[in-house]
């Protein structure tokens, strides 16, 4: 099967998943205390009557339920997620404004976790049960159990409060008018602690996975052949085993996006990092339900797409998958 046909065949499977997330949202909106209007504009405030009428028309709230659902789905697909109660702007806009900041935080953490995790994993697979291996296992057990937000607070206490090396919160120094490189360095300084915090869980995960996957590959016949040919360490570990061992690691990278966004929510809350995660916290505190529901939909669709991309990537990396 050609790659294109494989992709085309998988696309229709995406749509029910996206709709599923929207249906969940719709159901919650109707089951939760209060009227659906509250979840489109946010409750607790006097909203002009004309605006409520406009929304009722827009979302067909005077129509039977199944029609409402259809209208809601169409609205979501055209980007209409309601209005933020707090910012008084469309929910989609509020969310999209925060996306770059979250992306910056997430890509930095993933890179940190991926590179270091692979290095630790490969090193420990070379000599199982050695000192390096035990150290790597300890790191991964600890990293896997540590609550993200607590780690963030500990880092703040040590590096910001006591050592005063790095800033506590935000993305840039407030009040400082920085330009060019100075601004970049300022942002990087703000990025170090949150990225380390968010990356630690994944560091643990990638270390563990790379090690297991490498050990599995190293047992195979072609590795024996490679050693037999007289190849050196580098060639055997990196050019032969590593490439094949990376397959499951790459998959997990995409499959864990949902978890990663959870981590980002908690991390951004601790560090007041102005991304989607912090927006979740702010929306909970201010009861800005339209934003909260919008985030759920956007995050769900993103995760569904990420899974799709991972599938495709997997098929590219491992042609055997396509023929199943």
> How far out from the chain centre does Cα 134 lie?
29
Furthest-apart CA atoms within the chain: distance in Å: 81
Task: Provide the 10 A C-beta neighbour count for residue 131.
Answer: 9
Rounded CA gap, 267 and 281, in Å? 11
Of 225-264, binders to other proteins (CB under 8 A) are 258-259, 261-262
Minimum distance from CB of 89 to other proteins (Å)?
Answer: 21
CA geometry: angle 277, 194, 199, nearest 5 deg:
95
State which of residues 136, 241, 304, 310 lies at the interface with other proteins (CB under 8 A): 304
Nearer to other proteins, 231 or 301 (CB): 301
With contacts defined by CB under 8 A, name the span among 83-91, 97-105, 154-162, 216-224 that binds other proteins: 154-162
Nearer to other proteins, 167 or 246 (CB): 167
Minimum distance from CB of 11 to other proteins (Å)?
Answer: 16
Site string for other proteins, 160-199 (x = CB under 8 A): -x------x-------------------------------
Phi first, then psi: give them for residue 90, nearest 5 degrees: -55, 140
State which of residues 121, 213, 265, 310 lies at the interface with other proteins (CB under 8 A): 265
39 binds other proteins (CB under 8 A): yes
State which of residues 55, 214, 249, 293 lies at the interface with other proteins (CB under 8 A): 293
Contacts of 108 (CB under 8 A, 6+ apart): 191, 195, 199
Of 4-33, binders to other proteins (CB under 8 A) are 16-17, 20-21, 24-25, 28, 31-33
Count of CA atoms in the C-beta half-sphere (13 A) of 129: 0
> How far out from the chain centre does Cα 164 lie?
30
Rounded CA gap, 265 and 260, in Å? 9
Of 109-148, binders to other proteins (CB under 8 A) are 141-142, 144-147
Residue 41 · residue 89 · CB < 8 Å = no
Q: Which of 246, 251, 150, 274 is nearest to 200 (CA)?
A: 150
Rounded CA gap, 139 and 214, in Å? 18
Nearer to other proteins, 214 or 266 (CB): 266
**Which residues of the chain form contacts with other proteins (CB under 8 A)?**
16-17, 20-21, 24-25, 28, 31-33, 39, 141-142, 144-147, 149-150, 153-154, 156-157, 161, 168, 258-259, 261-262, 265-266, 269-270, 280-281, 284-285, 289, 292-293, 295-296, 299-300, 303-304, 307
């Amino acid at each position: 099967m050609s790659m294109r046909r494989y992709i085309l065949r998988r696309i229709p499977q995406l749509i029910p998943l996206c709709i599923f997330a929207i249906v969940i949202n719709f159901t919650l909106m109707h089951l939760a205390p209060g009227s659906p209007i509250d979840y489109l504009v946010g409750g607790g405030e006097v909203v002009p009557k004309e605006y409520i009428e406009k929304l009722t028309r827009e979302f067909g709230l005077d129509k039977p339920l199944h029609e409402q659902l259809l209208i809601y789905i169409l609205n979501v697909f055209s980007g209409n997620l309601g209005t933020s109660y707090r910012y008084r702007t469309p929910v989609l806009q509020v969310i999209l404004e925060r996306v770059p900041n979250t992306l910056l935080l997430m890509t930095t953490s993933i890179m940190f976790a991926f590179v270091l995790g692979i290095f630790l994993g490969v090193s420990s697979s070379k000599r199982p049960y050695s000192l390096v291996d035990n150290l790597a296992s300890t790191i991964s057990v600890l990293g896997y159990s540590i609550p993200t937000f607590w780690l963030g607070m500990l880092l703040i206490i040590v590096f910001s409060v006591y050592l005063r090396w790095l800033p506590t919160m935000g993305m840039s120094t407030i009040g400082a008018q920085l330009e060019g490189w100075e601004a970049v360095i300022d942002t990087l300084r703000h990025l170090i602690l949150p990225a380390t915090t968010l990356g630690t869980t994944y560091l643990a995960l990638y270390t563990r996975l790379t090690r297991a996957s490498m050990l599995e590959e190293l047992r195979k016949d072609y590795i024996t052949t490679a050693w037999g040919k007289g190849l050196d360490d580098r060639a055997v570990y990196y050019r032969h085993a590593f490439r094949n061992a990376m397959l499951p690691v790459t998959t997990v990278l995409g499959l864990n996006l949902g978890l990663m966004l959870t981590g980002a929510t908690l991390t951004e809350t601790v560090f007041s990092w102005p991304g989607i995660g912090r927006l979740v916290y702010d929306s909970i505190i201010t009861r800005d339900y339209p934003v909260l529901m919008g985030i759920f939909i956007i995050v769900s669709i993103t995760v569904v797409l990420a899974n799709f991309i991972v599938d495709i990537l997997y098929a590219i990396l491992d042609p055997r998958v396509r023929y199943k």
